[in-house]
A and B are shown apart, each in its own frame.
Chain A
């Protein structure tokens, strides 16, 4: 399949253009929601990579948090506010952490994998909440972001960040898409269904998982860094605590694993649902979120993307969460 035939690449690029145009239309609050959706979407994309091979992490707030805190700490202690540099560091740190933990985690599957991730994220939460140097539960506020020589203020800064985030996210999504097309990235069903066979074909499932885990870690860090810049503040409760990981999984389910664009759409919808639930029913917004999630699981098991697939008259991609029963 050549570049020109790749619908997803086209889709992503059109999406990029659309968002950049949208920048001039939308009000500020919506722009910041969009930017956040890009951040959360990236993490969900990371989950998608794992999910395709039947793995899911209930602790990806760990990488999200590491990405975010790297940015926060650089701003606080080194006075570095350059978006390019901080994001790069955030991504790398998260990636390294994922690489390290990967050696342990790659041995686990199913619910153990999910929960062990949660355990690690909770350890980070403990550390952050404990240490005043890391801002404790009050967290750390960032200095105003700069972009190389460009140092806009106020609303202009947010616009800059949005454009910046959109372009970066586009790049990331494209890379992930290419990865998923590669031999390594295609080891999804293989890992999910039959690692023994994969081993006898000449590649170990654990290595494949490790690679995927690092990819998802990098994405987590990227999302965290973007989020930190968008919010201008990092704190453990809204970035590392386990329900945050829950949100990411929520988004992943909502989106479905059909395509790399899905998580971003899912993230946006998630943000909107939350915003309005929060607005209109301040006392019971949780109930509404929960209800939505249930509804999705019950009636749209393969996520929103399955609608797109159905609408295209193509049967939902095989690489979905529900491996179902083997019927032979």
Chain B
């Protein structure tokens, strides 16, 4: 066994924030390594540094015994160090086939060769084979933007493996993939990679995945590696339990105790019936019926691409409604211009945070108030800070300097600010470290005690199931189960 990658004393900081400090890693050939750590712990930054996407502040990076520090992404990729992305980076307006075709073209041609025709029979067959290996042949002619999340994820990884890389870095291969799928997809993936004898290093939040597929774990915390050990040992490590896994079980217990039956009054806050919504030519929602009784917490559960986000965007007026009725209390939302809906007391937390970078956390939270001119904002702000003391701590920091998890909280707070009658939360727990997810659940719990009407979209309800008075399971754009 020889070292594929050797990283020594790697440093990087963005302004005051230290993203990587004193990183030392050696990756042996054939290993499968898991990188874990809270959001903003520096995992993605580590990958970006090693693959040449970011210039390091210091240290050395050797790949296959060659110093690759300062080389371009392009050069490093050509040496056989490839990566996939947290958010799949595929060419959205081209078909899966064309995506891979381009990947093959670039991988196989260089110099004058680049001027030979891209599409040739032999290459086409290779592409087909590749699609088959990742079991996405059926999506061959679907364009990137229309692919389901999981498939897009696979395609993203498939493209990264075209070069038969010596070392492949996967950034959260299962994020945004529903619980039922995750093992299936990982199996496909790991089998394919084993066929190609690729050394793999992947970032993962899901500990089940880590425990099942990984030989060795690197745990990051605030830009440093706090643990580098075989998986089983790492899981027992005190630091890891402390800073990465979080005190899941105790917290869970409290929550469960708290969630003791609270009844909801009969009258509906949000009443949706027979709703059809399309994006472009493709219909996403098909005859959705969904009611949120006031004072109740409802879940909208379904895998990615099932139509949760579309549903919320439709309710917020970002998408136009083809058919059906959407009412808030006795107001017909369909007839209300998009910007008026916030005025009616709907708070919306988008899946992808979307803060205004130029503003501070607090200004972001106050935006809806300024827009709607709502009353007694001070009190409400205090109440929100009461719910989330951590937000109050960094309320004066610029939105850009916040980690993913922190931004999530701000987005949540912002939604609460004007969401006096109804809260729409799109995947509050998605893509953030267990420890943050845990906090999120606690907050939801408190919120529930306050008696707010909430609709939470999640790809799996394991964390929040006990909080939900009612669960709508959505699949391929229609509600299939309502409990």
Contact = CB atoms under 8 A, between A and B. Distances in A.
A–B in direct contact per CB < 8 Å = yes
A196 interface: yes
By secondary structure, the B interface counts as mixed
Given A182-B116, A184-B115, A200-B82, A328 B145 contact: yes
Contacts of A189: 91, 93-94, 98
Interface size grouping (class) on chain A:
20 to 34
Interface stretch (B106-114, B194-202, B379-387): B106-114
Nearest to B109: A183
Given A190-B102, A199-B73, A181 B160 contact: no
Contacts of A198: 106
Interface string B162-192: 1100000000000000000000000000000
A317 to B, nearest CB: 11
Contacts of A193: 91-93
Nearest to A1: B119
A286 interface: no
B4 to A, nearest CB: 17
Contacts of B92: 193-194, 326, 328
Interface residues of B, number: 38
Contacts of B113: 183
Contacts of B51: 200
Q: Which of B102, B103, B116, B145 has the most CB of A within 10 A?
A: B102
Contact of B102 (A186, A200, A318, A327): A186
A62 B115 CA distance: 27
A197 interface: yes
Given A184-B114, A201-B77, A202-B74, A327 B91 contact: no
Given A190-B91, A193-B91, A199 B72 contact: yes
B308 interface: no
B279 interface: yes
Query: Secondary structure at chain A's binding surface: helix, strand, loop or mixed?
Result: loop
Closest 4 CB pairs of A and B: A183-B105, A199-B73, A184-B114, A197-B89
Given A189-B93, A197-B89, A327-B145, A1 B117 contact: yes
Contacts of B74: 199, 202-204
A121 B51 CA distance: 38
B173 to A, nearest CB: 15
A187 interface: yes
Interface of A: 1, 178-179, 181-187, 189-190, 193-194, 196-204, 318, 323-324, 326-328
B126 interface: no
A183 B105 CA distance: 6
Nearest to B163: A202
B279 A327 contact: yes
19 contacts: A182-B116, A182-B118, A183-B106, A183-B109, A183-B116, A185-B115, A190-B91, A196-B53, A197-B85, A197-B159, A198-B106, A199-B72, A199-B73, A200-B160, A202-B77, A202-B163, A204-B73, A324-B93, A328-B145
Nearest to B92: A326
Contact of A326 (B77, B102, B145): B145
A202 B106 contact: yes
A203 B53 contact: no
A201 B159 contact: yes
A324 B160 CA distance: 26
B66 interface: no
Nearest to B282: A327
